[in-house]
Amino acid sequence: MNKVSVLMSVLNGELSIRKSLDSIVRQNYSNIEIILCDDGSTDRTFEIISEFKNSNTIDIIILRNTCNIGLPSSLNRCLEIARGEYVARLDADDEMYPRRIEQQVNYLNSNSSISVVGGAQLMHFSDGSKKINRPPRTDNLIKAGLFVRTTMLHPTVMMRRDFLDRNGIKYNPEFHLCEDYKIFVDLLYAGANFANLPNIVNTYDYSTKKGWDKHQDRMVIALSRIWSENLRQLSIDDNEDSIKLLLKLSGKLKVNGMGDILSLVRLFLNSLQKNSFTFGTKGAFLIARVKDIIIMMRSITLRKL
């Protein structure tokens, strides 16, 4: 039975951390270790996770930062001591479905070419509503999507540890708030293949503010750096206008009208012409870009209503 290391970083998670840990303990897969980093919490988080470790037989390793160093650096601390063949992620305010680990281990064991597998997640909003987030399932569509956004849901993923080690891949602290997107792009450049299971593997708590809601300026800088590299991978000039178009597509800047749409179409046609399996097949890349154009057009329509 393959050993799985579940990595989690938590900051002031006293209200949710026990449920998250309980969801790991309830897995119907037994060969699991939890590596948990308390990233400078000032509430009862460390007391709760210490009590949880003492009252459960599952293998739990607790790390504690004396001050807040951020999610990517904390996850790297966990990754350094992980002993599992497979590395899974979970955030401290989310919960795993009981068969998640088993399903993903079985998938990786049956598909040796896949280095990263994720799945769908059930999102819970502050008004009590729910929505299923289903990312693209196939390798080509996932890679095509990674040109402009993450198409792997970070709290749902399981990765092959040996692929990370062979390629020297870890979380980059310079891309805080986009560390998930960055590591998936790094995996893409290293030749990883991706998949998402069709079934729901996690719940995702969207009822409280996330880091990217509070620090949009830092996210914009990080996204711009990732997009610049993506464009350079296709030998396309990563000029300021191109980055602004992608920021408008992602909702970080206001779309001014059809001129922006036409400019984005030109950028995407140039990208399509030069893309050669870097971001999936040309067919998958075209499908993803048509969807992106529709998203931008809807933003104009909604503003006029």
The answer to whether the CB of 64 falls within 8 A of the CB of 46 is yes
| Sign of the Cα pseudo-torsion (103, 109, 112, 115, in order) | positive
For the residues 123-127, what does the mean pLDDT come to? 89
Model pLDDT for residues 259-275, shown as the tens digit of each residue: 999 999 999 999 999 99
Q: How confident is the model at residue 304 (pLDDT cuts 50, 70, 90)?
A: very low
Contacts of 136 (CB under 8 A, 6+ apart): 142, 144, 145, 151, 196
Place of tokens 């198409």: 151
Q: Which two tokens stand for residue 226?
A: 């990732």
Average pLDDT, the chain: 94
Query: To the nearest whole percent, how much of the chain has pLDDT over 90?
Result: 90
Residue 135 main-chain phi, psi, to 5 deg: -75, 165
pTM of the model: 0.95
pLDDT at position 9 over 60: yes
Other beta carbons within 10 Å of 51: 12
> What is residue 217's DSSP assignment?
H
pLDDT at position 209 over 70: no
Q: Which two tokens stand for residue 149?
A: 């956004």
**Cα–Cα–Cα angle for 105, 134, 211, rounded to 5 degrees:** 90
The answer to whether the CB of 76 falls within 8 A of the CB of 170 is yes
Which of 57, 51, 58 lies closest to 32, judged by CA? 58
Model pLDDT for residues 73-103, shown as the tens digit of each residue: 999 999 999 999 999 999 999 999 999 999 9
Which of 265, 263, 286, 271 lies closest to 234, judged by CA? 271
CA distance 184 to 176: 14
173: exposed, middle or buried (Cβ count in 10 Å: 0-12, 13-18, 19+): middle
Fold of 4-211: Spore Coat Polysaccharide Biosynthesis Protein SpsA; Chain A (3.90.550)
Model pLDDT for residues 213-238, shown as the tens digit of each residue: 567 889 999 999 999 999 999 999 99
- Domain chopping of the chain, boundaries: 4-211, 234-304
